[in-house]
Chain A
């Protein structure tokens, strides 16, 4: 499936900002099931300094510095991506999870070594006893990894309430677990924490999800949203995605922007500015299927 993605972010400040620095993770990366056909980021006012490159995880990354006084900043990312679904996965045929955890202790090939980057606690993914206890309820001894991960996805979907405004990016996993409330990002952090507490490798994936209008209604431009889910490493299968917010294995309607250990590694826009006073951010995302 080919999509055109338009992601506009608009910052407005009460007073002029004299200088601002931003780091963007807004260009879709290439992934095994995804090709980025074209991508462009337009910034207004034009930044004095702009560097496009790749981060430690291979994600496209853009550094911007706007050095002229500005009271608003518009960042518009446009991309065309081609996404393929994963095909059928036999969850029950995957390796027992303890075996995979064992492989990660002493990785013998490049793929396993790369997976080790995602096997430990990270700034937004704390691991404690409660997380571990929640995890082992699905990860019973000898259970195939992917089957257990699917069940965990299911438990989060059914056991947690999706509610915005209760949490923010810095809400600890422990609080999400105890309040059983959060948004996609919190559920992704929780599931990543659970998998890592078992010694498994799990990524936080930042991206978009195609939304479908209610029956009989026309799709509104710009009403889509950023989304977050997870990916777990299992030999032979490779990285397999799970979406705890929607209780599914992502197919060709999930578009990947970037992956990392947690939100902090791949925040779509992270910025610091001098001056500005209070600020308002408005975001509009539009995911339009082309074929």
Chain B
């Protein structure tokens, strides 16, 4: 789609907004609807849109596939790691209360970290699926 000016301009205008909205959904998930899963999908969609319009190679410059592959595991490990940290601090697996000074503060920190892990894994899985499909063309 390199020679279609309308999609290129529209994508350039929209992609920062989409990513910003994804971050809003990610970090506002405890107050409004949303959370890590939806945010990951939105950010993944923004990156795939970039790849569709500007080509796979440009997207791979922004998000190299080996980094994306390690991010898949990183998000999952971040989630499980929060559970292990709470265990080390003397509570049950994924019992966030011990992460902060008060129960509510700990819950807040725990939920934000866990949702971040979900978001990272989901976004990078979406991008990697796109890489795998789009890369088969050549």
**Same assembly:** no
Residues in B lying within 8 Å of A, measured CB to CB:
none
